[in-house]
Structure 1
Amino acid sequence: MPPFEGSKPAVCPKGETNNIVSIDVGGQLFQTTKQTLTSAGPKTFFSRIAESSGIYTPFIDRDPELFSLILSLLRTGNLPSKAKAFDLQDLIIESRFYGVETLLINSLSNPSQFEPFNLHKSLLLPLNGRDSPSALAAPAFGALHVAHGSKITSFDWSLRRKSTLLTHFTAVDSLLALSPSLVAAGANDFSGLQILDLEKGRVRETLHWENVTKSGSTVQAIGSSPEQMFVSFESSRRNSNSIMVYDVQSLAPVTEIAHNEIFGADIDSAIPATKLQWVESCKLLMASGSHSGPSGVSGNMRLWDVRSGNVVWETSEKVDCFADVAVCDGLSVIFKVGVNSGEASYVDLRKLSSFGCKIQTQGNQVFCTKAGDVELWSEVVLNGGRIFKKNLMGRVRDMGGAKVTNLAFGGSTMFLTRKDHQSVEVWQSSSTDF
């Protein structure tokens, strides 16, 4: 039987096109327009209803209250506030029935709904096994991938369903989502970057760096721009390192930058990039890495022009070297956390002058972890100048705990992991909390 069946004919004045569509859902009559129905896309459930308007009033044997939420989603692109009174799983089932799950994902994962000062811990995602999370990937299309030990556990956009893939790695150290079903994974002690098909549960392709000594190449970091993927490799003998650039669609190698062959005690060239972040506003790649030795921790940060392969800015640090670095593209600022002081400091990208835990950016906000707490840094404009103010994150019951080991952002949600915890904390704003 089709999903809806005809009842009484609709009345359409002669010579006029009736734009109003009536729909009977579970005995309750709804009226909307053809434009609203066709906004779901061609060849969908709703487009069929729009095409049949004027012939009969369709009857759909579904819950009218849930249908009203779906109709609001079609009209505005967002769920109404009353949707919080319903179970998210019920909404998911209805969105799949009507073929508008993508619209629901976009609504709940909309970055515009991200309220940094209103985040609170709303959910705990348990992981199988005894290994703590080592890497997170939270793609914009609404999902979460968690590396823990030799496994990668993927949660769907609703965070209700999960699947686990066993990899060849002893432990996964770097993770990057390439598409809803593909991730790039690498390890500090396992040769090659693996492209994993999560749906089929297999390795689709392995990328290697051909270094001079022909030894294996381990992955130290992965990053990406809209068109390219960047991979920091180090030879297994630890005597050379490089950053390779690949086409993000075909995975074909494009160019090589930052190639270093280490001779003698050249410590600076011995440090591979352990963090890669694309700066879209400048069209530059930020690469940073640090090294701990008998004399303390030293490191360097560089901004690379990928097209020319040239460094456009760099700084080396030996006093209070960075524990972590992040670029806030919207604010044109590089932030760092000092390895000794634990304090956050920054340099204005527009000036590119030297300055001088975990730190990540989301929109125009900077999140910095100190021990078990999370600080939120935001810009305050004062008398024509700019300063950054920090605030502690979360409600009293959410604050503190074990050391934060990973931060990731997906849509309007923040994901957080802690040392020796086999779970992922989900932090959401009240407006997105179900």
Structure 2
Amino acid sequence: MALKRSDRVRINVGGTPFITSSTTIANAGADSMLCSLLNENWEPATRDPQRHEQDEIFIDRDPALFAVLLDLLRTGELRTPHGIPHGTLVREAVFYGIDRHVKAASWGSPLDGNRVRCRASVRGRATTDAVAIRASPGGGCGVAHGPMIHVYDWSLEELPPVTLDFMSVNDFGFLPRNPLRMVVCAADRGDIGGLGCVNAATGKLIQRMKLELDDSSRSFMALACASSDCEVFASSRMRGVGIWDQESGRNVGFVTSGEGGGGSKLQWLPSSNLLLVASMFPHSDHCFLTLLDRRQRTKAWEWSDCEMRSQPLIMDAVAIQNRNMICVVDQSDELGFIDTRMGGGGGGGSGAAFAPACWSHMFQRIKRSEMEEHLYSKLRINASDPSSENLQLFSTREEAVLVHSCSAVALSGGIADIDVGGDRLFVLHSDENLFDVWESPPLLSSSSSKILL
């Protein structure tokens, strides 16, 4: 983009004059509103083209907010005076097209489980207990409460909720390539449900995912989103795992996952083009894990705990990409690691392979009768960069989040669910209508103590 020759720029914001340089304005980015004001091809009809250098650009906005954003473009540091809400500043940054700069300066460091801090605790407004929390790739999240999903953007401002009439949310997730869209699985008491795509910013339904099944087969248990070929996966009790095209909403087929039904949890593994299908308690009395090859429509690997005697129920599972490993956690909060290179058979064989799980006995087991009020553990993997050597596993136990095997983060209140996304860890509490947002603070330079962007 060609900039005006003069380096001095005069901007009047809401009656307050500002003088800066075109170099500073260029830091906003070529696609920003501020940078477009300096484009030689953009000239208001009332401006004399021969008087560029003396022209003053007028913007009818809040000068106090503009001063903070201009300082951010100059220094790369965000210094917000007391009395200016962060959400208000974010909305102003969106107007100028520099919200990504505010986001980078607010928390510009990848999530590191060894150094995390609680950025915020957000109290919801729902009247029922929350059952699930899902992270957006952009740093926001959604919290499911019965027939509603409360949605928050990356600045933790609440957006219009998603409301399902006479249905409850089974599962939902944000599309990796379009964080402004969510896919929602729903079912009613009659075991009839469906799959739909909604706008995360407005809460409005975009389209229903078409399904060529009879009514008795329309209940979906979970979903996972593919980022490579724009597909959506959702499990069905009756037909296994369905595949939908994100754009058209057309069902392109089903893949049978074997024993355990369609699965109570799905996880897409983009580095290997495989889908983890996990059937666990309470959906099944035994744990069935399957890696499905989406292209070949076959089972690449499978595992079951059916032959493991006196083993506590497995409550959650997560695949660790590029490590040939699946981590499971049982009802006694003990972690187990299964090597996917052992057994498995693949090729759609009928017999499940019972590869042994290497258990890490972190906590003393408790009796089965004591499990009624126990908060079962949840597992999530920080997979923003699957090739990284510093992949971290997050698990929960009562009132703590454990980061792999290196450190623990103490929290208040029992934990119902966790998720990782957008370089943040989201922790949903069970005893209060509350969730915490954890992140790693920006790194500081030892010489200048400035934020490294």
The structure in which a higher percent of residues are strand is: 1
Paired residue type of 1:392: A
After superposition, the C-alpha distances for 1:27-65 in whole angstroms (9 at most, x for unaligned) are 4532242882572416x2322135379533535577777
**Residues 62-77 of structure 1 aligned to structure 2 (within 5 Å):** 67=66, 69-71=68-70, 74=73
Paired residue type of 2:249: L
TM-score normalised by L of structure 1: 0.75
TM-score normalised by L of structure 2: 0.72
How far apart in 1 are the matches of 2:248 and 2:8? 45
What residue in structure 2 maps to residue 45 of structure 1? 34
The answer to whether the 8 A contact 2:11-2:58 is kept is yes
| 2:91 equivalent to 1:88 | no
**Residues 79-228 of structure 1 aligned to structure 2 (within 5 Å):** 79-80=76-77, 82-83=79-80, 87-105=85-103, 108=106, 112-178=109-175, 179-187=178-186, 189-197=191-199, 201-207=203-209, 209-211=211-213, 215-226=216-227, 227-228=230-231
* CA 1:207–1:28: 2 relative to 1, 3 Å: closer
Alpha-carbon offset, residue 303 of structure 1 = 0.8
How far apart in 1 are the matches of 2:430 and 2:268? 27
What residue in structure 2 maps to residue 406 of structure 1? 417
How far apart in 2 are the matches of 1:248 and 1:67? 39
How far apart in 1 are the matches of 2:324 and 2:72? 35
**Residues 338-417 of structure 1 aligned to structure 2 (within 5 Å):** 338-339=330-331, 341-348=332-339, 354-356=355-357, 357-363=377-383, 364-377=391-404, 389-394=405-410, 399-402=411-414, 404-417=415-428
How far apart in 2 are the matches of 1:350 and 1:270? 22
What residue in structure 2 maps to residue 273 of structure 1? 263
How far apart in 1 are the matches of 2:356 and 2:104? 39
How far apart in 2 are the matches of 1:244 and 1:232? 6
Alpha-carbon offset, residue 411 of structure 1 = 1.4
Alpha-carbon offset, residue 242 of structure 1 = 1.1
How far apart in 2 are the matches of 1:290 and 1:163? 33
How far apart in 2 are the matches of 1:362 and 1:190? 34
The answer to whether the 8 A contact 1:284-1:305 is kept is yes
Alpha-carbon offset, residue 430 of structure 1 = 3.4
How far apart in 2 are the matches of 1:132 and 1:323? 20
How far apart in 2 are the matches of 1:141 and 1:292? 32
The count of aligned residue pairs is 380
The answer to whether the 8 A contact 1:328-1:362 is kept is no
Paired residue type of 2:277: A
How far apart in 1 are the matches of 2:303 and 2:64? 59
* CA 1:201–1:59: 2 relative to 1, 3 Å: closer
After superposition, the C-alpha distances for 1:149-198 in whole angstroms (9 at most, x for unaligned) are 11121223311233223212442120122345432222354422233345
The answer to whether the 8 A contact 2:280-2:316 is kept is no
What residue in structure 2 maps to residue 249 of structure 1? 247
Paired residue type of 2:403: L
The answer to whether the 8 A contact 1:169-1:190 is kept is no
Unaligned runs of 5+ in 2: 44-50, 345-354, 358-376, 384-390, 444-453
Paired residue type of 1:192: G
How far apart in 1 are the matches of 2:143 and 2:282? 27
The answer to whether the 8 A contact 2:316-2:379 is kept is yes
Q: Work out the percentage of aligned pairs sharing the same amino acid.
A: 22
Alpha-carbon offset, residue 97 of structure 1 = 3.7
The answer to whether the 8 A contact 1:184-1:194 is kept is yes
How far apart in 1 are the matches of 2:28 and 2:162? 38
After superposition, the C-alpha distances for 1:116-167 in whole angstroms (9 at most, x for unaligned) are 2232333222222321112223221343222101112122331123322321
Paired residue type of 2:97: G
**Partner SS, residue 158 of structure 1:** coil
* CA 1:299–1:198: 2 relative to 1, 3 Å: same
Correspondence for 1:305 among 276, 286, 293: 293
* CA 1:251–1:105: 2 relative to 1, 3 Å: farther
What residue in structure 2 maps to residue 385 of structure 1? none
Paired residue type of 2:183: A
**Partner SS, residue 116 of structure 1:** coil
Paired residue type of 1:156: D
